[in-house]
Amino acid sequence: MTASLLGIHDARVALGGRDVLRGINLQVSEGEVMIIVGPSGCGKSTLLRAIAGLQRLRSGHIQLDSETLSGDGIHLPPQHRHTGMVFQGLALFPHLTVKANVGFGLAGSSRAERERRVNEELVSVGLEGLGDRYPHQLSGGQQQRVAIARSLVMRPRLLLMDEPFSDLDSTTRAEVRVEVLRIIREHGVTAVIVSHDREDAYHLGDRIAVMDRGRIARVARADEVRMEWEAHPFST
Amino acid sequence: MGQGQSPARVGFWAISLLALVLAAPLLVVLTAPWHTAAPEWAHVSVAILPVAARETGLLLLIALCTAWLIALPSAWLVATTEFRGRRLVSWALVLPLAMPTYIAAYTFAGLLGPTGSISNWSAAHLGVRPDIVHLPGLGVVLGLVLFPYVYLPARAAFAHGMTTQREAAALLGATGLRAFLRIGVPLARPALAAGSLLLAMEVINDFGAAKHFGVRTLTTGLFRSWGGLYDLGSALRIGMVLIGGMALLLWIERHLRRNRSFQTDQVPTERIRLRGAKSWLATAWCMLILFFTAGLPLASIVADVFQPGSSWLDAGLGQALTNSLLVAAGAALLVLSIAILLTYRERHGRRADLAVRAANLGYAIPGAVIAVGAMAIAGPLDRSGWHGPVLIGSLGLLLYAYAARFLAVGTQPLFGALRSQPRALDESALVLGASAWRVFTRINLPLLRPALLAAAMLVAIDVMKELPLTLILRPFNFETLSTAAYRSASIEQLREASRPALLIVLCAVPPVLLLNRLLQRQRP
């Protein structure tokens, strides 16, 4: 771990008049994988959306690499934040091929450059030869890798993943989890992953932030949290 | 998009302005007393308006009762029972929608009018000469051809969520007719209200049928004020009354639906297999309805068209067909282009825009009202002298009025399809650096392709069938299939009218079947 890349300070979000995030403070270091866990409705996904710029803050700050993304009257739109996001359900574009999905964000690059980067990314996630297929022609695990490749090809400063394995069965889930961790490590990207699954948290995270009712209840190293959970399996 | 985007506000304002332009005829009619004098209003308000209002109300009542009597039992049988021929009648009962009301009226008058073929036969063999050319007769004819507006939502409501309730009712001793009256109809009331409203809109919009049957409705009164008394101001005021009437009907429909959104189990209703005489009776009922509402009028039209010695497609009819296809395609293109922009605004801009809502109201306003509204806009512009008299009697004004009238037909399928696209698709594209416009054109729009096709077909066929608006605004000497049918029928040349009528019906059948398919895929 090195210096803090992502800094969230006293972030508050209200939705429909109800406080969903109530003063979130969180630091994520360069190259770290931070897992956010917590019960349904505790605000995990809202926090991720606020980092991505899909949700405005009511107050507080979000900074990435010392640049203010949200706060102090600033709200940088999602397309200018240089963050990648893998959505729950993946949100692959069903009418575009794998190549077109992965290259979607490279609209500003030349055709040759786009082709090169897409092919490189497909190789890095183990999808070479599948570029001309459509999402529905892939397995769940392969779709997962397309979604990650689509984000990583943009060289994001931060990768956000919202319940990335929720649509997979338990066997595939374990395999894909290993694969995803390998890809993240190889790319050296900093990641914030939301999950409700403790197994995901153990295996993927360097640290785990536990959320409860719109607040971060605690942040600790993954192995510490794991030992605690194994000792008290019904605690949160 | 959460609240995080900074949309291209100028573009969104421009789209709102465009919607406002389309809502202009409606606004012009509603403000008529403040800008257009009505020299004949004293006469019109005493001699035309009260009779027209009474006859329109009566016509509406008879048409609704006829439609309910036909639609409800048919929809119940098709949705909740299994009988011989059920699959066929399930979709075939939608076919009457392909027949414009004025064509149905000409056909039924040709069969059962004072000199109709069936009337003549009956007079010769039975000594009785039936005559349906009067207000109640027209009410029944309109009910016969417009009943699918009630049948379709009723069938959808009966087809889902009735199983548990019916089983509970059966255990309590209510089966058959009692279950239909005590369970089916009350649970389907919201759907019936919506369908009845659409039917009422069609009845009020009708001009050709009422004119042919000599019934003095508000729409024929509007025509009389404009075309007979040459008083646009009075026509606009009758338009105001019509809009008031539509607003009242909308209010009644909302009132009937309020607190009536019953929670049902939403699983497909399990159909009960009818056996023996019951099965035959069900088949006979549906076939009888099909015969009177589609078979008989269609057979009569076909028989007239293929009479020995009659030429099928002469130069005049060919030109009318070309003109119809031209305006249908032009209007579909225009409506779709505007609908796409409104869809973009709906998805990526601030929603609940008043101008967009007002523009979408056109479908609830009779074509004749839109037409006089468009005339009231074009007249002063033409007279102002800055461009010369180019608007009134132009194809451009006709297409504009079609767009104002049928915009909702284009936007509703798109809005509906757009709502089924997950927001995550847009958000994921935004995070990948796309602008709102790029998200719309690369993601939303390609996924809307089937809805675009459906919307284009529905708009095109509505334009081909539209009569009153076309009659008022068409360019000089510009004949379409609908005006050709009207012109022949108005001088009692019903056989001549049958050729354009058949062409309209043939063009309308595929979109009607498409609509049926779309509705069958949807749950209520």
Cross-chain residue pair B430–A91, CB shorter than 8 Å: no
Mean pLDDT of chain B: 86
Q: Quick one: angle between helices B315-348 and B494-521, nearest 10?
A: 30
CA-nearest residue to B448 within chain A is A95
Please check whether residue B459 is in contact with residue B410, taking contact to mean a CB–CB distance below 8 angstroms.
yes
The reported pLDDT for the residue numbered A225 is: 84
**Contact between A95 and B435 using a beta-carbon 8 Å cutoff:** no
Residue A62: in which H helix or E strand, if any?
Answer: strand A59-64
Percent of chain B with pLDDT over 90: 45
Nearest CA in chain B to A162: B424
**Coil/strand/helix, residue A25:** strand
**Mean pLDDT to the nearest integer, A34-59:** 93
What the block records as the tokens of A181 is 């961790």
> Cα distance from B427 to chain A (closest Cα, Å)?
7
Task: Please report the DSSP string for B413-456 in residue order.
Answer: HHHHHHHTS-HHHHHHHHHTT--HHHHIIIIIHHHTHHHHHHHH
Asked whether the beta carbons of A179 and A142 are under 8 A apart, the reply is: no
CA–CA dist B221, B422 (Å, integer): 49
CB B49 within 8 A of CB B241: yes
Query: B408 to each of B356, B360, B401, how far by Cα in Å?
Result: 10, 5, 13
Of A56, A91, A104, the CB nearest to B2: A56
Output DSSP code: residue B183.
I
Write the CB contacts of B438 (distance below 8 Å, at least 6 apart in sequence).
Answer: A107, B429
- Is the model's pLDDT at B523 over the cut of 50? no
The rounded mean pLDDT for chain A is 90
- When pLDDT is cut at 50, 70 and 90, the band that residue B272 belongs to is confident
User: What is the predicted pLDDT for the residue at B380?
Assistant: 87
Chain pair A-B, CB pairs under 8 angstroms: 78
Q: How far is CA B146 from CA A141, B67, B93, B136, in A?
A: 52, 7, 11, 15
**Partner A contacted by B21 (CB < 8 A):** no
pLDDT at B446 over 70: yes
Confidence (pLDDT) at B5: 45
Secondary-structure percent of chain B, ordered helix, strand, coil, rounded to 5: 75, 0, 20
Please indicate whether residue A17 or residue B118 has the higher confidence score (pLDDT). Answer: B118
ipTM over 0.90: no
For A83, A183, B358, the CA distances from A5, given in Å and listed in that order, are 12, 20, 50
pLDDT one-digit tens code per residue, B102-114: 899 999 999 999 9
Give the pairing type, strands A4-15 and A83-86. Answer: unpaired
Chain-chain contact of B432 with A104 (C-beta, under 8 angstroms)? yes
| Structural tokens at position B430 | 């935004």
The pLDDT value given to residue A1: 47
| Segment B473-517, tens digit of pLDDT | 999 889 999 999 998 888 878 788 888 999 998 888 887 887 777
Nearest CA to A84 out of A196, A203, A190 is that of A190
Question: Is the domain B44-305 a CATH 1.10.3720.10 member?
Answer: yes
- Lowest mean per-residue pLDDT among A68-82, B50-64, B187-201: B187-201
Fold that domain B1-30+307-524 belongs to in CATH: MetI-like fold (1.10.3720)
pLDDT at B261 over 60: no
Q: Alpha carbon B175 to chain centroid distance?
A: 35
Confidence of residue B240 (pLDDT cuts 50, 70, 90): very high
Q: Are B432 and A151 in contact (CB < 8 Å)?
A: yes
Q: Which of B430, B442, B446 sits opposite A78 (nearest CB)?
A: B430
- Residue B259 pLDDT > 90, yes or no? no
Q: What is the pTM assigned to this prediction? A: 0.80
Rounded Cα distance, B205 and B219, in Å: 7
Give residue A196's pLDDT band: very low, low, confident or very high (50, 70, 90).
confident
Closest CA to B190 of B129, B138, B253, B238: B253
Give residue B4's pLDDT band: very low, low, confident or very high (50, 70, 90): very low
Question: Is the model's pLDDT at A136 over the cut of 70?
Answer: yes
Q: Among all chains, which residue has been given the structure tokens 């690059």?
A: A109
Q: Are B302 and B502 in contact (CB under 8 A)?
A: yes
Query: Rg (Cα) of chain B, in Å, rounded?
Result: 24
The pLDDT assigned to B513 comes to 81
Place of tokens 């510009």: B478
Task: For B323-378, write each residue's pLDDT tens digit.
Answer: 999 999 999 999 999 999 988 888 887 666 777 778 888 888 889 999 999 999 99
B401 CA to centre of own chain: 16
Question: Above 70 in pLDDT, residue B264?
Answer: no
Q: Which residues fall within 8 angstroms of residue B32, CB to CB, at 6 or more apart?
A: B38, B233, B236, B237, B239, B240, B376
Residue B179: predicted pLDDT? 77
Count the neighbouring beta carbons within 10 Å of the beta carbon of residue B241. 18
Give the pLDDT band (50/70/90) at residue A2: low
Interface contact flag, A93 B429, Cβ < 8 Å: yes
Contact present, B473 and B331 (Cβ < 8 Å): no
Yes or no, beta carbons of A77 and B4 under 8 Å apart: yes
Q: Which of residues 430-449 of B touch A (CB under 8 A)?
A: 430-435, 438, 442-443, 446-447
B425 contacts A93? CB cut-off 8 A:
yes
Are the CB atoms for B84 and B283 separated by under 8 Å? yes
The amino acid present at A218, given as its one-letter code, is: R
Task: Compute CA distances B483 → B94, B405, B478, whole Å.
Answer: 25, 18, 9
Lowest mean pLDDT segment, chosen from A17-26, A45-54, A196-205: A196-205
- Whether residues B1 and A54 touch (CB distance < 8 A) is answered with yes
Confirm if A10 and A202 have CB atoms less than 8 A apart.
no
* C-alpha–C-alpha distance, residues B64 and B72, integer Å: 11
Map residue B385 onto helix, strand or coil.
coil
| Strand ranges (E), B62-184 | 81-82
- pLDDT of A60: 95
**pLDDT recorded at residue A211:** 94
Average pLDDT over residues B381-388: 77
B434, B442 Cβ separation under 8 angstroms = yes
Yes or no: say if B362 and B404 are a contact pair by the CB < 8 Å rule.
yes
Q: B352: distance to nearest CA of chain A, Å? A: 17
**Percent of chain A surpassing pLDDT 90:** 67
Residues of chain A with C-beta less than 8 angstroms from the C-beta of B443 = 93
Q: Is the pLDDT of residue B161 over 80?
A: no
pLDDT value at position B445? 93
**Identity of the residue in A53, A88, A95 whose CB atom sits nearest the CB atom of B4:** A53
Cα–Cα distance for residue pair B62/B70, rounded to 1 Å: 12
Examine the pLDDT at B159 and tell me if it is beyond 50: yes
Which of residues B75 and A167 earns the better pLDDT score? B75
| B181-220 confidence digits (pLDDT tens) | 777 787 778 888 888 988 998 899 999 999 999 999 999 9
**Residues of chain A contacting B431 with CB distance shorter than 8 Å:** 52-54, 78-79, 81, 83-85, 151
pLDDT computed for residue A233 by the predictor: 63
Task: For CA atoms A174, A180, A186, A188, give the dihedral sign.
Answer: negative
Tokens of B448: 């809307």
Q: What is the dihedral of CA B200, B202, B206, B209, to 10 degrees?
A: -90
Q: Is B425 within 8 Å of A88 when comparing Cβ atoms? A: no
Give the integer Cα–Cα distance in Å for A224 and A222: 5
Helix (H) or strand (E) holding A75: strand A74-75
Pinpoint the alpha helices (H) of A170-221.
170-187, 198-204
What is the per-residue DSSP string for B197-264?
HHHHHHHHH--HHHHHHT---HHHHHHIIIIIS--HHHHHHHHHHHHHHHHHHHHHHHHHHTT-----
Strand partners, A192: A34, A160
**pLDDT at position B241:** 93
Q: Average pLDDT of B139-162?
A: 87
Residue B27 has pLDDT above 80, yes or no: yes
Torsion, Cα B145 B150 B156 B160, to 10 degrees, reads -140
Please give the structure tokens belonging to residue A214. 């719109």
Q: For B233-247, what is the mean pLDDT?
A: 91
Task: Output the six-digit token pair for B233.
Answer: 């101001």
Q: How far apart are CA B124 and CA B173, in angstroms?
A: 51
Residue B283 amino acid letter: T
CB nearest B435 (choices: A49, A79, A84): A79
A31-69 burial, b if ≥16 CB within 10 A, otherwise e?
Answer: bbbbbbbbeeebbbbbbbbbbbbbbebeebbbbbeeeeb
A145: closest CA among A155, A157, A131, A158? A131
Q: Which residues of A touch B (CB under 8 A)?
A: 49, 52-56, 75, 77-81, 83-85, 87-89, 91, 93-95, 104-105, 107-108, 150-151, 154
Are B105 and B212 in contact, with CB atoms under 8 Å apart?
A: yes
What interhelical angle do A111-124 and A170-187 show, nearest 10?
120
